[in-house]
Amino acid sequence: MKKLLTAALLLITTLIFGQNSEKEEAVMFLDSNLVPKNTIKYIPAEEIESVHVDKKNVRINGKSYAGQIHITSKNPTKYDFISLDQIKSEYTDIKKSDVIYMINGEFMKENSATFKLDRHYILTVEVTNSSELYNFRKSDTKFDIINILGKTKENLDNKNKILLRGYESIGIK
């Protein structure tokens, strides 16, 4: 009887105080195309014409959303979204799947399977192998880091910089 009462109390407590881990989020549309929320982060603000928020709940592909955000760009035909796996296959020679993605020097912490990036946003793609990192040289763990540099003002300025080296170039003899 004591075990039955303890199990019932545990079940009731779990049901009452259990937290719902799903957050109510809005679904994003860019030019009437469904895009992941983290993709919008890499659309420049000056290319957005308007934003419309609809607070009605909607169900898309079996998932409920707490509203809709419709973003209209100034040039709707400009965007060509590709996944991170497509970037890996088109811009690198990496064949294995042990990859860490970075965008503009920040590690991707979101779901990389659903993330998409505009093909025209990509400036360069840099690949670093774990054996090039000091702490991983002797490790059995092998992976690649793919750093995708976008066409931000800072990245474009750094790409256009010309560094002069040598004594003659600065006038020192």
Which tokens belong to 73? Answer: 């760009």
Chunked into runs of 10 residues, the chain (173 residues) has average pLDDT values of 69 65 76 82 84 88 87 83 87 82 84 81 85 76 85 78 62 53
User: Do residues 116 and 138 both lie within one domain?
Assistant: yes
Q: Do both 136 and 152 map to the same domain?
A: yes
Residues 75 and 103 reside in one and the same domain: no
Count up the domains in the chain and report the number.
2
Count the Cβ atoms, other than its own, within 10 Å of residue 121.
19
Let me know if residue 85 belongs to a domain: yes
79, 95, 114 — which closes off a domain?
A: 79
- Asked if the structure places residue 3 within a domain, the reply is no
Determine contact, residues 155/104, Cβ cutoff 8 Å: yes
Residue-level pLDDT at 170: 54
Quick one: 49 and 101 in the same domain?
no
Answer yes or no: do 87 and 153 share one domain: yes
pLDDT for 77: 74
Q: For residue 88, give its domain range.
A: 81-160
Residues 28 and 66 in one domain: yes
Alpha-carbon span 149 to 100, nearest angstrom: 14
The pLDDT value recorded for residue 23 is: 62
In a domain, 5, yes or no: no
Q: Give dist(CA 91, CA 88) in Å, integer.
A: 6
Q: Kindly report the pTM of this predicted structure.
A: 0.65
- Determine the Cα–Cα distance for residues 155 and 124; give it in Å rounded to an integer: 10
60 and 85 together in one domain: no
Same domain, 38 and 102: no
